Amino acid sequence: MKLIKTSLFLFIVFFSLYMCLGSSAALSQMSNDEIYNELKAMKERINKLEKDLTKKDQEIKDLRSETMKKMETIASVESEEDQPPLQEIFSKWSDKIEISGLIEVEYDHDTHNRKHRTTERDEDITLSTLEIDIGAQVNRYVRGDIVLLYEEDETEDFTVDEGTITIGGIEETFGLYLKGGKYYPHFGELNSYFINDPLTQEIFEIQESGLEIGYDSDWFSVGAGVFNGDIEKEGDHENNVDDFYADACFHNPEDTLGGLSLLAGVSYLTNVGDTDTLSDEDALDDKEIRHNVEGVAAYLVSEYGPFSFSAEYITALDDFKTGEMEYAYDRNGTAKKSEPAALNLEFAFRPVEVVQVAVKYEETDDMFSLYPEKQYGLGVSWEAFKFTTLSAEYLHGDYDSNNVDREDERDLISLQMAIEF
């Protein structure tokens, strides 16, 4: 643009010199009208040239603006290719990660009656459960699961309740799977329709880090695993992975057997002393025992229309010797043998879709003052809103009369608010 303006200026200068010096003779011969017309024509040509230059200048500006816009568009596309949009990132994340949880707030009123009519009452409101479940389908064949758990009066902070890696268990692996990590080995089904855990679960639940291999199909499942328990035999000073469990069960797919849902199975464990309750300070207290005590479980869970039924029996196949169990003392303070067992029978009925009424009957053997020998109860739950349940239950338990703590009976009233998300 500067070059064009400079050329125009030189043209005018030289033309003026030519008109003044080189053409003085010619001008002297021209009339005033001719000179006027010549100057007018020259001015028109200069004006036209200036308009043409202005037009070209605007075209150059437009071209420059269009070029900058195209360069910005190209840079933006390249940036988007390097870094996906935030929506796309969250979409990919949500396809792999599943998050759910459970919150339970509970009120308990526990009354214990001892011999000679001594009564003890215990009442409290607690955040009984705060659970967060995180699952990740890493790829078609591999899945990871984490369960974080807080229980007031049971855990100080969030703890890793479960953390597992599962490989297989799909059609491409013919239903075969391998699972490893911290979890609850399947010894018994431990099913219940009540707020409080059944006595089968209180006594025989296990939480360990182990390895399990199994097969899962529409109608049948079997699994077996190993872990390193806390209880060792006398003289066995090596710390080995020597506890074994196995479970086999039958279950029918939905909409088969005329609408009847059925789950029936059996479980085996090489040492029931490694269950959480029987290994803690009120029982074996991590001591060495003379020999491992095997255990078996049998369970049945069924549902038909508004009716549900659950039955389970778990027992040790031998006894723990005299003096091994901290709770196994009679009324005179004499140590006794103990062959723990528990039975749980429950029946539930839904008069309407959002209300369930349940009754239960339980028994234990050789648990002395640790758990009632017989227990029965009534429970009601109401799904007040979606994923929000209000529950109430009453349990009455009678203890083995021959126990060192002289426990006679107990009455437990529980109220609970629970949400799932």
CA atoms of 223 and 247, how far apart (whole Å): 5
- Provide the token pair at 141: 């064949």
pLDDT tens by residue, 81-137: 555 565 665 556 667 899 999 999 999 999 988 766 678 889 999 999 999 999 999
pLDDT of amino acid 20: 47
Crossing angle of the two packed helices 2-17 and 32-82, in degrees rounded to 10: 170
Q: Taking residues 407-418, what's their average pLDDT?
A: 95
Non-local (6+) Cβ contacts of 120 within 8 A are: 111, 112, 114
- Per the prediction, the chain carries an average pLDDT of 87
Give the highest mean pLDDT range of 3-7, 184-188, 284-288.
184-188
Using alpha carbons, list the distances in angstroms from residue 186 to 131, 274, 296, 418.
20, 13, 11, 25
CATH class held by domain 96-420: mainly beta
Q: Taking residues 161-188, what's their average pLDDT?
A: 96
Per the CB < 8 A criterion, the answer to whether 262 and 251 are in contact is: yes
Q: Taking residues 343-355, what's their average pLDDT?
A: 98
Percent of the chain whose predicted confidence (pLDDT) is above 90: 63
295: pLDDT confidence band, cut at 50, 70 and 90?
very high
Q: Taking residues 214-241, what's their average pLDDT?
A: 89
pLDDT tens by residue, 7-42: 555 555 455 555 544 444 444 455 667 777 777 777
Tell me, letter by letter, the H, E, C secondary structure of the chain: CHHHHHHHHHHHHHHHHHHHHHCHHHHHHCCHHHHHHHHHHHHHHHHHHHHHHHHHHHHHHHHHHHHHHHHHHHHHHHHHHHCCCHHHHHHHHHHHEEEEEEEEEEEEEEEEEEHHHCEEEEEEEEEEEEEEEEEEECCCCEEEEEEEEECCCCCCCCEEEEEEEEEECCHHHCCEEEEEEEECCCCCCCCCCCCCCCHHHHHHCCCEEEEEEEEECCCEEEEEEEECCCCCECCCCCCCCCEEEEEEEEECCCCCHHHCEEEEEEEEECCHHHCCCCCCCCCCCCCCECCCCCEEEEEEEEEECCEEEEEEEEEECCCECCCCCCCCECCCCCECCECCEEEEEEEEEEEECCEEEEEEEEEEECCCCCCCCEEEEEEEEEEEECCEEEEEEEEEEECCCCCCCCEEEEEEEEEEEEEEC
pLDDT tens by residue, 363-385: 999 999 999 999 999 999 999 99
413: pLDDT confidence band, cut at 50, 70 and 90?
very high
CA atoms of 396 and 409, how far apart (whole Å): 7
pLDDT of amino acid 77: 54
Non-local (6+) Cβ contacts of 421 within 8 A are: 100, 101, 387
Q: What is the pTM of this model?
A: 0.78
CA atoms of 272 and 4, how far apart (whole Å): 101
- In the predicted structure, residue 2 carries a pLDDT above the cut 70: no
- In the predicted structure, residue 62 carries a pLDDT above the cut 90: no
pLDDT of amino acid 89: 53
Q: Pick the residue with more confidence: 323 or 82? A: 323
Total number of residues shown for the chain:
421
Q: Domain ranges in the chain?
A: 2-83, 96-420
- In the predicted structure, residue 162 carries a pLDDT above the cut 60: yes
pLDDT of amino acid 92: 65
**Residue written as token pair 């709770």:** 327
Per the CB < 8 A criterion, the answer to whether 273 and 231 are in contact is: yes
pLDDT of amino acid 84: 59
pLDDT of amino acid 25: 46
pLDDT of amino acid 24: 47
240: pLDDT confidence band, cut at 50, 70 and 90?
confident
Non-local (6+) Cβ contacts of 127 within 8 A are: 103, 104, 105, 106, 150, 151, 152
φ/ψ region of 368 (left if φ > 0, alpha if ψ in -120 to 50, else beta) reads left
User: Cβ-count burial of 259 within 10 angstroms (0-12 exposed, 13-18 middle, 19+ buried)?
Assistant: exposed
